[in-house]
Structure 1
């Protein structure tokens, strides 16, 4: 918006670079350009300010489809004024010389002309198309149709209005119809989700079964190994007992052999010693066998005398002593007679 200032009866206007200023004096265009600044006399001048920057016009139109369903088309129209002098002839962009503001609402007037034109072109783009067909085609055919219609419109060209771009954000049916149209897809998605859930659960069950089978197999293997371990321990214990028993048997047999050998050796020794003693005694007795009785008695007496210290008691009966003394006397007498 231009800035308006005053000095006494003079007025000064300064416009931005995005505005095109038109000044008339006495009905004649005397100044035309963007971003102008000048002094003027208010009672002989008429000013208009035309914005030449890009403007945006949001739109939301509802058009009927061929099957009598309402479709909402939401988008945005970007436009600008390409010929300020021409548009100023069709739309009132004049300024209040006291405030610098528009006397009317020129931009709203332009928007009021563009809005119905957009609606008309949107209806033309939907002509002969059913709801489902329109939704399947999407927003691009609608956008292209509206933009082509606006660019080809003779009225806009005569006014000096240029179309920069047309954007269509959405193309939607009524809420209930949209839900009904979405239902098959939602059911398919839900069915796919259910199938995925079923497969996931089946896979989980299969995995759980595999895990349980694996655990059972592990338990069986552990039981078999435990049984084998117990059997091996039994065999080892039996082998140990058998080896111990065999060792004891061998020791016992060795001891028996040793004892038997010792006994045999002792027996042989005793037999040898006793045999020698018997033989010696036999020889000694053979020596004594030819001796007279008195000599034998004398030898016996001498042996008795030699062992007298070891004899604690000695019983001599008259029956024994009498014959002995008689024999001694006889022997002595015989010896004396021979002498």
Structure 2
């Protein structure tokens, strides 16, 4: 932004790097260029500053399609001043004093470019339907406006160069736009509902699979439990059979042992009896050849083993004579004196 310092009867101008200044003094160009600095007298000088940097001009206008639908076009035009002297001579870019209204050069450029854009866009949109304008309007309008503005004679003679045109949007009225959006919204809603239904179907299928797996697991557990109970019954029955068989074997073994013991005892008794009988028979055979006195002596000896202890023994003459008579058969008999035999038992 250029700055002007004012002194009595004279002022000083200091330019900016983006402003092209044209100093006219008495109708003749005194100074011109970018970044100028000079003294001038306000009484006979006119200063104009034309920006030489790129300028952005947004524009918005309406047009009617072939099927009588109103659409709004939003565009942005980039331009610059390539001939600042011509621009300063045809447009108002003068530097005003303090308190004066600003120069209207930019507003004039905006009006010129906006009217050119609107006229060419209206001609292009009027030949297309709403659907075509919405589908291909942005690219078609960009090409048409770029070509039309760059070849416009007024802009070229003024010293304005169009660097580019961008069509940002071609939109119908709000009611029409909502109506056009409804089928797409319904389709999107239908797709969303279908996705929800598919997700629910997948969830139900997964739940069914989980339920089937749980049921299969329960059936498998029940089958295994049944097999376990059956196997436990078989094991118990086999264990009982084995215990019965073992008991039977033990009973047979005990019976056999008892039979063997009984047989052994019977054989022992028989052998002992036979031995005792043989002994008795041998004894009888021995006793058959003995006389009465010997037998009597043997009887006394056998009886003595089972008789109680006898402390005193009294032998009478009759008993002694009989015994002596047996011992001495050939000796003469001696008449003994009567005597009494008394015995006293002692323990």
TM-score (norm: length of structure 1): 0.87
Secondary structure of 1:104's counterpart equals coil
Aligned mates of 1:211, 1:197 — CA distance in 2: 21
Q: Which residue of 2 aligns with 1:89?
A: 89
In 2, distance between residues paired with 1:212 and 1:310?
Answer: 106
Deviation at 1:146, TM superposition (A): 1.6
Q: Paired residue for 1:226?
A: 225
Partner of 2:23: 23
Residues 95 and 102 in structure 1, CA contact (< 8 A), matched pair in contact too: no
Distance 1:282 1:8 in 2: 192
**Distance in structure 2 (CA, Å) of the matches to 1:25 and 1:262:** 164
| Counterparts of 1:129 and 1:169, CA distance in 2 | 18
Distance 1:310 1:77 in 2: 166
Q: Does the C-alpha gap of structure 1 residues 222 and 103 become closer, same or farther in structure 2, counting only changes over 3 Å?
A: closer
Farther off after superposition, 275-284 or 328-337? 328-337
Q: Give the Å deviation of 1:335.
A: 4.8
Q: Distance in 1 between matches of 2:121 and 2:237?
A: 102
Q: Is the 8 A contact 2:87 2:159 kept in 1?
A: yes
Q: Where in structure 1 are there 5+ consecutive unaligned residues?
A: 312-323
Aligned position for 1:319? none
**1:282-332: CA deviation from partner (whole Å, max 9, x where unpaired):** 111222234455553443233223431389xxxxxxxxxxxx999869858
- Alignment-derived partner of residue 39 in structure 1: 39
- Structure 2 CA distance for partners of 1:32 and 1:206, relative to 1, 3 Å: same
Structure 1 or 2: larger helix share? 1
Matched, 1:72 2:72: yes
Q: Which residue of 2 aligns with 1:321?
A: none
Equivalent residue, structure 2, for 1:58: 58
| Preserved contact between residue 94 and residue 102 of structure 1 (Cα < 8 Å) | no
Once the two structures are overlaid, the 10-residue window that deviates more, 289-298 or 85-94, is 289-298
* Contact 2:81/2:159, CA 8 A, preserved across alignment: yes
Structure 1 residue 274 corresponds to structure 2 residue 273? yes
Whole-Å separation in 1 of the counterparts to 2:297 and 2:6:
197
How much is the aligned-residue C-alpha RMSD, in angstroms? 2.7
* Per-residue deviation, 1:224: 0.9
Count of aligned positions: 326
Q: Quick one: distance in 2 between partners of 1:25 and 1:333?
A: 215
Which runs of 5 or more residues in structure 2 are unaligned?
311-318, 335-347
- Give the whole-Å Cα distance in 2 for the aligned partners of 1:101 and 1:49: 16
Tell me, yes or no, if the aligned pair for 1:69 and 1:173 is still in contact at 8 Å.
Answer: yes
Q: Name 2:203's counterpart in structure 1.
A: 204
Q: How is 1:163-312 mapped onto 2 (pairs within 5 angstroms)? A: 163-293=162-292, 295-309=294-308
Q: Deviation at 1:12?
A: 0.8
Q: 1:22-45 CA deviation, whole Å, 9 max, x = no partner? A: 111211123221121111122222
1:13 aligns with 2:13: yes
1:56-104 alpha-carbon deviations (Å, 9 max, x no partner): 11112121111111111112211111111111121122223x4497753
**Could you tell me how far 1:7 is from its partner in structure 2?**
3.3
**What is the CA-CA distance between 1:247 and the residue it aligns to?**
2.2
C-alpha change, 1:189 and 1:10, in structure 2 (3 Å) is same
Q: For residue 141 of structure 1, what is the aligned residue in structure 2?
A: 140
CA distance in 2, matches of 1:60, 1:172: 11
**Contact between 1:24 and 1:45, CA under 8 Å: does it hold in 2?**
yes
CA contact (8 A) 1:62 1:71 kept: yes
Q: CA contact under 8 A between 1:2 and 1:16: conserved in structure 2?
A: yes
